[in-house]
Amino acid sequence: MTTWDLPAGSGEDWVAHYDRGRPGWPDEVASLPGLAPSAEVLDLAAGSGKLTVVLRKRFDAVIAIEPQPAFRAILREHIPGLDVRDGTAQGLPVGDATLDAVFVAQAFHWFANRDSLDEIARVLRPGGVLVLMWNLPRGPWVPSTLNAERILLDRAPALDDAVDPLDFSRAHATDWRRIVEDSIFGPIQERRLPNAQILDAEGLMAYYASMGWIAELPDQERIPLLNEARSRLTADRYRRDWETMLFWCGLQPQ
């Protein structure tokens, strides 16, 4: 059985595809001015732990908060001993003023609102930092995957002309910046970091299978579609250059 050849409608299958196929984060995202290894930090909306593993390399104390049980199970399996908690950005299971930084990777667009920012501010110590990041594509898969993608794109839902149905990163395009600038967090600083991803053909299929619209197709459509795309992938390895857009801002004195 191939990795994507599983019944649709199961969040656990989707999270496994997510974990295998989506890009991770460069180590530099954890090296921010003023955040020493002794800092106590939170990975909010931790997913399967792609950022958590990077934070654990740098910081002594890392908490991961994730609302989806299937992701929490992967977090516990991948990172034994990790402090994993069920919670949302609007209700963090963390005490007042107990953390030095809250990191949010590829997720802030889901809760870019005043309630979440107030809640994040509540758990930060004075001078604490909010760190946001998104991966954006900076080139196509190499070697070309167009032959495989054509079969997927033929089945893709009609989206805005500017939107690529096989590019998850469009989700960051909210007005999150204005919302943060209007909050009690200070000026936003930013850095761009190169972030290459290399996958074998099965991993690339997991990337495609992790697209929400593909995961939601009924089995009788999804499995043959993915098998047809897989038959068109002939290379052993595929590489893609992403760019990590890193943003951080401090909690302003009140």
Ligand X SMILES: C[S@@+](CC[C@H](N)C(=O)[O-])C[C@H]1O[C@@H](n2cnc3c(N)ncnc32)[C@H](O)[C@@H]1O
Q: How far apart are CA 221 and CA 223, in angstroms?
A: 6
Do 78 and 145 meet the contact criterion of CB atoms below 8 Å apart? Answer: no
Q: Site residues (CB under 6 A) for ligand X?
A: 22, 45-47, 50-51, 66-68, 71, 88-89, 105-107, 110-111
Q: Which DSSP state fits 213?
A: H
| Min separation Cβ 220 and ligand X, Å | 27
Quickly count: other Cβ atoms within 10 Å of residue 237's Cβ: 12
Among residues 170 and 239, whose Cβ is nearest to ligand X? 170
| Min separation Cβ 171 and ligand X, Å | 7
| Site of tokens 């196929």 | 21
Determine the residue with CB nearest ligand X: 47
- Is residue 245 within a helix (H) or strand (E), and if so which, with residue range? strand 237-250
Among residues 61 and 171, whose Cβ is nearest to ligand X? 171
| Min separation Cβ 144 and ligand X, Å | 26
| Min separation Cβ 23 and ligand X, Å | 8
Q: Give the CA radius of gyration of the chain.
A: 19
Q: How far apart are CA 50 and CA 47, in angstroms?
A: 7
Tokens of 240: 């893609």
| Min separation Cβ 113 and ligand X, Å | 9
| Min separation Cβ 211 and ligand X, Å | 12
Among residues 107 and 233, whose Cβ is nearest to ligand X? 107
Long-range pairs for 6-10 at CB < 8 Å and ≥24 separation? Answer: 7/219, 8/215, 8/216, 8/217, 8/218, 8/219, 8/222, 9/216
Beta bridge partners of 243: 136, 194
Among residues 68 and 189, whose Cβ is nearest to ligand X? 68
Among residues 118 and 221, whose Cβ is nearest to ligand X? 118
Among residues 194 and 224, whose Cβ is nearest to ligand X? 194
